[in-house]
């Protein structure tokens, strides 16, 4: 597996790819909205909010990448996970770019989550001998 093949969308299902991007956009929007509400009302400290946001930005793309790779069942799960996680990166950078390092860390966590969720759906077993 090389980096060029991870971003090659020619052999993917475009509907599932769009679903992955849209689901990541929606997940990140509501995660950021919840973190903003929790930090603004004083429910949690800012450090706890940042840790929770980091976990949410890893677990969400992880689950979405796994589900889309499983749904497609075409051995291209890593592509669905990574390209879908770019939807999260877009909304993270759009809303948090001025905050500095937290935007970069959240973007890396989203990309890592999408990659790990998609790689789980890759076929690794041996062929059955008949």
The domain in which residue 44 lies consists of 13-119
Whether residue 65 lies inside any domain: the answer is yes
Tokens of 128: 């059955």
Whether residue 74 lies inside any domain: the answer is yes
Whether residue 25 lies inside any domain: the answer is yes
pLDDT, residue 1, reads 63
**DSSP category for residue 97:** G
The tens place of each residue's pLDDT in the chain, 130 residues long, gives 666 677 777 878 899 999 999 999 999 999 999 998 988 888 878 888 889 999 999 999 999 999 999 999 888 888 999 999 999 999 999 988 888 888 999 999 999 999 999 999 887 765 555 5
Q: How far apart are CA 51 and CA 39, in angstroms?
A: 12
Q: How far apart are CA 44 and CA 70, in angstroms?
A: 36
Total number of domains in the chain? 1
């Amino acid at each position: 597996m090389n980096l060029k093949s991870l971003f090659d969308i020619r052999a993917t299902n475009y509907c599932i790819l769009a679903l992955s991007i849209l689901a990541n956009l929606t997940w990140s929007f509501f995660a950021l909205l919840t973190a903003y509400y929790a930090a603004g009302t004083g429910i949690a400290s800012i450090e706890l909010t940042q840790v929770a946001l980091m976990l949410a930005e890893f677990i969400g793309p992880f689950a979405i990448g796994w589900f889309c790779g499983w749904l497609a069942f075409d051995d291209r799960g890593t592509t669905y996970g990574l390209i879908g996680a770019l939807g999260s990166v877009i909304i993270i950078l759009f809303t948090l770019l001025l905050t500095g390092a937290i935007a970069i860390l959240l973007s890396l966590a989203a990309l890592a989550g999408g990659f790990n969720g998609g790689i789980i759906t890759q076929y690794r077993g041996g062929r059955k001998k008949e």
